[in-house]
Amino acid sequence: MEKLTAAHRTLPFETWVRVQNLTNDKKVDVRIQDRGPFVGNRIIDLSHAAARHIDMIGPGTAKVKLTIIAAPKRLAKQSELFAVQVGAFADRRNAERLRDKLGQFGPARLMARSGEPVLWRVLVGERSDVAAAEALAAELRSSGASGFVVRLDTPPVR
Whether the full predicted model's pTM is greater than 0.75, yes or no, is: no
Domains of the chain with bracketed CATH: 5-75 (2.40.40.10), 82-151 (3.30.70.1070)
Cα separation, 107 vs 82, whole angstroms: 12
Summarised one tens digit per residue, pLDDT across range 128-147 is: 888 999 999 999 999 998 88
- Residue pair 37/9 in contact by the 8 Å Cβ criterion: yes
Residue 135: what pLDDT? 95
Whether the CB-CB separation of 23 and 32 falls below 8 Å is answered with no
Q: What is the mean pLDDT of residues 1-20?
A: 90
Average pLDDT value for the chain? 88
Using one digit for the tens of pLDDT, what is the confidence trace for 59-78? 888 999 999 999 887 655 55
Q: Residue 158's pLDDT is what? A: 45
* Of residues 102, 57, 77, the one with CA closest to residue 14: 77
Q: Which of 14-18, 31-35, 76-80, 84-88 has the lowest mean pLDDT?
A: 76-80
